[in-house]
């Protein structure tokens, strides 16, 4: 019997025991997870530095700190979220009451990506624990040091029948997907997402897919350009652009283009220095394959900021390119790196048409002082998540459900939404023995007009 079989058998027995459903048990294990993270904080920082060259500050800002905040919120609210929720009952069903009861699915598989390898592994695990499931976590092999510390934390604080980490490459992931789980939560590319959904279909297993896409960033005519540039530079180049909700391309009003590009150059220099290669705060590309893919994207268009690279160090500078067509390779798929294509526009209708002609993005950003323009974009463009006058920070709000739409994903998580996504909602109507309306039962002769009148 393989390690996967052993773990799944242990988790089946553990879940059947009912221990994972107990509310106090869930709260205790959320506390144990938080304790393990705090105790291993420096080791987590070191792992992220080895995998992505992240600074400790960026690691805390974008990964560890977000996780600690989410555990705090979920632990504080879980008791109220877990209570059966009373809903209205139509008067024609009287006397009765209706409630939604929450129960765990059972054995959950979480497949995590490499770009935020700690955050995007542990965040869904928090939701699975909160809902009362048993969990198998498959971290990405592209971030091996972070995968190792996650495995160490989980193994030290949880029974493997309750929560286990299985490390390995794509073949390990495929082996896991051949097993029967009660729920699958996947974060990664659209291509692999299709494979996950196909594998889940064999068992009719419900799936949440957190994917990606080309997230547009609109800079309107009437806008304060200085903070806009500062926030765009941060959102685009944190983690060397390897962020699923990073601005993927810029749509700037033609009257602001020149000034905005000057300000972007200013803030790249202010954040990372004249030579970002020497900056301790600038991350690296995850591996040679992704580095080479990104370098090919620079063969079309005009590089006006950055463009330098070092294959030995997997370094690509914060880069801005212009004079592109919509058919160029850089516009055919999510960039997932520190390259920002820039296009100009004259009318907001043009922008809306451009975005709507493409697959629905995971994120959208608009910088504008005109509330009517912001409302119009939100109303007329379909996207998963976004910001007005900022970038990427919506992810850090655990009260905002996070997820995509269409090819950018399905399902929502974070905070209460994480408890919901990992919970089966049982709808239960409780009927009194006191009274049965005669209209309900045969014979129905001459009752139809009365029933119509009541329902009307």
Q: What angle do CA 40, 41, 45 make, to 5 degrees?
A: 120
- Of 238, 286, 237, the closest CA to residue 115 belongs to 286
> Catalytic one among 70, 190, 210, 334?
210
Distance CA 398, CA 419 (A): 12
Is 174 a residue of the active site? no
Output phi, psi for 249, to 5 deg. -155, 155
Give catalytic status of residue 244 as yes or no.
yes
Q: Which helix (H) or strand (E) segment is 251 a member of?
A: strand 249-253
Mapped onto helix, strand or coil, the DSSP state of residue 444 is coil
* Residue 27, CA atoms < 13 Å, CB-side half-sphere: 12
Asked if 437 and 96 count as a contact pair (C-beta separation under 8 A), the reply is no
Annotated catalytic residue: which of 58, 134, 190, 244?
Answer: 244
Number of C-alpha atoms within 13 angstroms, CB side, residue 68? 14
As separate numbers, helices (DSSP H) first and strands (DSSP E) second, the chain gives: 16, 18
* Pairing assessment for the beta strands 423-431 and 96-104 based on DSSP bridges: antiparallel
List all residues 6 or more positions away from 406 whose beta carbon is below 8 Å from its beta carbon: 359, 360, 382
Which residues are identified as catalytic?
Answer: 210, 244
């Amino acid at each position: 019997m393989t390690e996967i079989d052993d773990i799944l058998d242990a988790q089946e027995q553990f879940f059947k025991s009912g221990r994972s459903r107990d509310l106090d048990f869930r709260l205790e294990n959320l506390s144990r997870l938080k304790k393990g993270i705090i105790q291993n904080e420096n080791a987590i920082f070191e792992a992220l530095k080895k995998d992505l060259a992240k600074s400790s500050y960026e690691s805390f800002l974008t990964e560890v700190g977000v996780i600690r905040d989410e555990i705090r919120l979920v632990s504080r609210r879980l008791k109220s979220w877990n209570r059966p929720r009373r809903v209205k009952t139509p008067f024609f069903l009287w006397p009765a009451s209706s409630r939604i009861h929450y129960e765990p699915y059972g054995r959950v598989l979480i497949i995590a990506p490499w770009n935020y390898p700690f955050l995007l592994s542990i965040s869904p695990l928090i939701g699975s624990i909160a809902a009362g499931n048993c969990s198998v976590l498959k971290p990405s092999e592209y971030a091996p040091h972070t995968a190792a510390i996650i495995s160490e934390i989980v193994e030290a604080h949880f029974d493997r029948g309750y929560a286990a980490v299985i490390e390995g490459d794509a073949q390990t992931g495929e082996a896991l997907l051949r097993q029967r789980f009660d729920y699958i939560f996947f974060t990664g590319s659209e291509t692999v997402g299709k494979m996950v959904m196909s594998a889940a279909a064999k068992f009719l297993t419900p799936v949440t897919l957190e994917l990606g896409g080309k997230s547009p960033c609109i800079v309107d005519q009437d806008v304060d350009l200085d903070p806009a540039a500062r926030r765009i530079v941060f959102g685009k180049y944190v983690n060397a652009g390897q962020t699923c909700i990073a601005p993927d391309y810029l749509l700037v009003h033609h009257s602001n283009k020149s000034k905005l590009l000057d300000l972007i150059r200013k803030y790249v220099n202010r954040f990372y220095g004249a030579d970002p290669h020497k900056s301790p705060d600038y991350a690296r590309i995850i591996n040679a394959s992704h580095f080479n893919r990104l370098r090919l994207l620079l063969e079309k268009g005009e590089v006006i900021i950055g463009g330098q690279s070092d294959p030995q160090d997997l370094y690509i500078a914060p880069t801005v390119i212009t004079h592109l067509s919509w058919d160029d390779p850089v516009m055919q798929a999510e960039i997932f790196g520190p390259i920002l294509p820039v296009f100009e526009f004259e009318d907001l209708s043009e922008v809306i048409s451009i975005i709507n002609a493409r697959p629905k993005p995971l994120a959208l950003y608009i910088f504008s002082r005109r509330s009517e323009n912001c409302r119009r974009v939100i109303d007329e463009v379909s996207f998963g998540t976004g910001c007005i006058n900022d970038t990427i920070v919506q992810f850090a709000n655990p009260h905002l459900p996070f997820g995509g739409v269409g090819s950018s994903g399905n399902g929502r998580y974070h905070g209460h939404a994480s408890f919901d996504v990992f919970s089966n909602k049982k709808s239960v109507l409780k009927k009194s023995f006191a009274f049965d309306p005669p209209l309900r039962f045969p014979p129905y002769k001459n009752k139809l007009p009365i029933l119509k009148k009541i329902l009307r």
